[in-house]
Amino acid sequence: MTLVAVTIKVRREIAELAEEMVRLGLARSRNHAYNMMIEMGLREVKRLVERRKAVRRLVEEFMKNGLPYTDLPTVKDVEEERAR
């Protein structure tokens, strides 16, 4: 596979999306983000970004307020149940 450097102009929205993909850890670099957009399509990439942002919001909420569930079974409880 031969790589070729290409300079392009994109809308600000696309450039900001590429930056956000890198910030969220979906892409290793802006170059990788642009390649993902080309290969996957803009709609799919936007869906992935929104999903990752929703997960981060939940994690931050759980870290701040604790898990909303109490009395969840532990690994020990599950292992005991399987042993029966």
Q: Are 52 and 24 in contact (CB under 8 A)?
A: yes
Helices (H), ranges, the chain: 12-24, 30-40, 42-65, 75-83
Mean predicted confidence (pLDDT) in 46-65: 93
Q: What is the pLDDT of residue 44?
A: 97
Band of residue 29 on the pLDDT scale cut at 50, 70, 90: very high
Band of residue 45 on the pLDDT scale cut at 50, 70, 90: very high
User: Does 72 have pLDDT greater than 80?
Assistant: no
User: Does 15 have pLDDT greater than 80?
Assistant: yes
Tracing tokens 């409880």 back to the chain, one arrives at 77
